[in-house]
Amino acid sequence: MQLKRAVITGLGVVSPVGNSVEEYWKSHQQGQSGAAEITLFDAEKFKTRFACEVKGFDPLEYLDRKEARKMDRFAQFAIASADQAIADSGFKESGTDLDEVGVIWGAGIGGMDTFFSEAINLRENDYNPRFSPFFIPKVITDIAPGHISIRHGFRGMNFATVSACASSTNSLIDALNYIRLGKAEVIVAGGSEACVAPSGVGGFNAMHALSVRNDDPKTASRPFDKDRDGFVLGEGGACLIVEELEHALARGAKIYAELAGGGLSADAHHLTAPHPEGLGAEKVMERVLSDAGVAPDEVDYINVHGTSTPLGDVAEITAIQKVFSSHAYELNISSTKSMTGHLLGAAGAIDAMATVLAVKEDLVPPTINHFTDDPALDPKMNFTFNAAERRTVRAAISNTFGFGGHNASVLFKKFSS
């Protein structure tokens, strides 16, 4: 069976560094941080009092008031980013059969704040069960792709992927494989998350996972820096339209890049810590290269998982050096989480968007907030510190690794017929 090819024909985003693709990419080019003091709740008593919140987002720009009240913030982000990407792609206006359009959406947690609020209400009402009738539909992760399909009438496959921080990369890989097999013409894929909430910040603080650099939030996310002390929690949503190549060409679609391959692996090591030798990361990159049919020396850029944790950053670089050997020193490496923070289940989609744009624009976004070299990391590696770099990007990988040892990678390359 001849596998079909998949291309990216639309993008949409709601993020800590911009609520449109144009704003988001401009912020990446300029190396802007989205971190600031938390405004969504009173964080005074928390160890971490800052995050990468989405700013200036009004759900009523996309939804009427009644619809918005039925949705958790993570689902509102899903609607907004999907609406943007669908409009950007233009496939609906081209007469695409909506029976052949699917939605696959990733979220690691879903309606965390809704769950927290309902639990507080239950306790304050002396456990008198006065739950909102929308409690369950607002909480469940799969409601985001459900809302997108209902809103637009898409009747293809519709489900959610949940693999912690790898969730939305899994959505892209599933989309790629359904397109390859001819099971859909267009798939709306991506992820959203909204965990800047008391339970989210408090829970990650209890794990000692978050930075506590409260005196300087904007420089707190510092992947590969010697003094990194944990990740910065982010929120938002990102959507990529994955389309079968011949369908895209037939309607004259603009093509950002080809989604050429996906890789999956498990660390099989620890609940939260990466394998110290980066074995899962090594295997997932080997698999994405094999799946894409791309040689290691054809890859020019890797958007690393790079969360700014002491163990994770070192393990990933170790894996890159094993997989790419001497070519590891010719690659550009950067972590866009230094700007957006870590969007958990949405991280894969928002990082993939930066990777797609790097391929399209031949511009590698930077790893910002680098001050001190880490002696545990090879200084000859090109971490693209503090400033974007222009170079030809023929092919690029986006890595995401999740709690539980879930590893997922996607490879994008310049489109060529």
Q: Mean pLDDT of all residues in the chain?
A: 95
| Cα Rg of the chain (Å, integer) | 20
Range with lowest mean pLDDT among 22-26, 100-104, 395-399, 401-405:
401-405
Please state the pTM of the whole predicted model. 0.96
Q: Give pLDDT, residue 268.
A: 87
Say whether 342 is catalytic.
yes
For the chain, give percent helix, strand, coil, nearest 5.
Answer: 40, 20, 40
Q: Give pLDDT, residue 116.
A: 84
Strand order in the sheet with 101-106: 158-161, 101-106, 186-193, 236-244, 6-14, 257-266, 406-413, 395-402, 301-303, 332-334
Of 28, 247, 305, 370, the active-site residue reads 305
pLDDT above 80 (res 127): no
Topology (CATH) of 265-413 = Peroxisomal Thiolase; Chain A, domain 1 (3.40.47)
pLDDT above 90 (res 251): yes
Q: Give pLDDT, residue 135.
A: 85
Q: Does 265-413 match 7-250 at the fold level?
A: yes
**Pair 169, 409: CB distance under 8 Å:** yes
Position 138 confidence tier, pLDDT thresholds 50, 70, 90: very high
As a whole number, mean pLDDT of residues 393-412 equals 96
Per-residue pLDDT tens over the stretch 338-377: 999 999 999 999 999 999 999 999 999 999 999 999 999 9
**Pair 13, 239: CB distance under 8 Å:** yes
As a whole number, mean pLDDT of residues 48-56 equals 98
Q: Give pLDDT, residue 119.
A: 82
pLDDT above 80 (res 128): no
Of 28, 342, 370, 406, the active-site residue reads 342
Q: Give pLDDT, residue 110.
A: 94
As a whole number, mean pLDDT of residues 152-159 equals 98
As a whole number, mean pLDDT of residues 156-171 equals 97
Provide the percentage of residues in the chain whose pLDDT is more than 90. 89
Q: Give pLDDT, residue 61.
A: 97
As a whole number, mean pLDDT of residues 92-118 equals 94
pLDDT above 80 (res 103): yes
pLDDT above 90 (res 267): no
Helices (H), 90-216: 112-124, 135-139, 143-152, 167-180, 198-206
Position 417 confidence tier, pLDDT thresholds 50, 70, 90: confident
Position 163 confidence tier, pLDDT thresholds 50, 70, 90: very high
Q: Domain spans of the chain?
A: 7-250, 265-413
Of 165, 239, 275, 370, the active-site residue reads 165
As a whole number, mean pLDDT of residues 208-233 equals 97
pLDDT above 80 (res 122): no
Q: How many CB atoms lie within 10 A of CB 199?
A: 16
The structural architecture, per CATH, of the domain 7-250 is 3-Layer(aba) Sandwich (3.40)
Q: Give pLDDT, residue 327.
A: 98
As a whole number, mean pLDDT of residues 99-110 equals 97
